[in-house]
A and B are shown apart, each in its own frame.
Chain A
Amino acid sequence: QQQVKQSPQSLIVQKGGISIINCAYENTAFDYFPWYQQFPGKGPALLIAIRPDVSEKKEGRFTISFNKSAKQFSLHIMDSQPGDSATYFCAPTSTQTSGSRLTFGEGTQLTVNP
């Protein structure tokens, strides 16, 4: 059973454009919805995260939109830059259940052309 489904697998955007990556989940116990950014040869790093009590969170050019009823959340990158070229992972989690499995999406490889 695939608990987390991320789309698209790859995305090519022109500089200045908007990048949108989606994450759908099944487990209604999830209460923490992060996006991680990974550059080639590096470990992932937290980019932005949201809790289910808000529908949107913005940090600079990065915004998370959360739709609890649809069980999905998305990452929007405004004014995309070549330096944003990386792989992005969603990793929704239940922080209340210590034994719950931590599941990452399959990743979206973003390329921003100059």
Chain B
Amino acid sequence: NAGVTQTPKFRILKIGQSMTLQCTQDMNHNYMYWYRQDPGMGLKLIYYSVGAGITDKGEVPNGYNVSRSTTEDFPLRLELAAPSQTSVYFCASSYYHGGEQYFGPGTRLTVT
């Protein structure tokens, strides 16, 4: 099993550009999450999903959108990138809500 995979690993965006961060898991987990981690800080929940077709906002959803059309995939969309979105983004999945979370390797995003 590959676990949780994320692409790309690194990306530089210009202000106002858009992009999609990809996340795929092969563990058949219903629950999936997107976090951002700023330098020296903890993880902040952006969005989460409890199953295909069901998503909900986390602590810091502004400027982001998500979709969940399949159990495996949970892409994160950034519209109109801003410097405040410079961060490392982690995708995670779990078998049940709040249970052990399996994290991907992260995407380091810089907006200039």
Contact = CB atoms under 8 A, between A and B. Distances in A.
B42 A106 contact: yes
Which interface residue of B45, B96, B99, B101 has the most chain A CB atoms within 10 A?
B101
Contacts of A42: 105-106
Contacts, number: 60
Interface residues of A, number: 28
B45 A102 contact: yes
Contacts of A109: 40
Nearest to B56: A99
Nearest to B103: A43
Nearest to A89: B42
Given A43-B104, A43-B106, A99-B56, A32 B98 contact: yes
Q: How large is the interface on B (under 10, 10 to 19, 20 to 34, 35 or more residues)?
A: 20 to 34
24 contacts: A6-B42, A36-B101, A41-B106, A42-B106, A43-B4, A43-B90, A43-B92, A43-B104, A43-B105, A44-B101, A89-B42, A94-B98, A95-B97, A95-B99, A97-B97, A98-B97, A101-B58, A101-B59, A102-B33, A104-B42, A104-B43, A104-B44, A106-B42, A107-B40
A106 B50 CA distance: 25
Main DSSP-derived SS at the A contact region: loop
B42 A100 contact: no
A35 B101 CA distance: 11
Interface in B9-67: 33, 35, 40-45, 48, 50, 56, 58-59
Contacts of B45: 101-103
Nearest to B59: A101
Nearest to A98: B97
A95 to B, nearest CB: 4
Contacts of B105: 42-43
A32 B99 contact: yes
Contacts of B42: 6, 89, 104-107
Contacts of B59: 101, 103
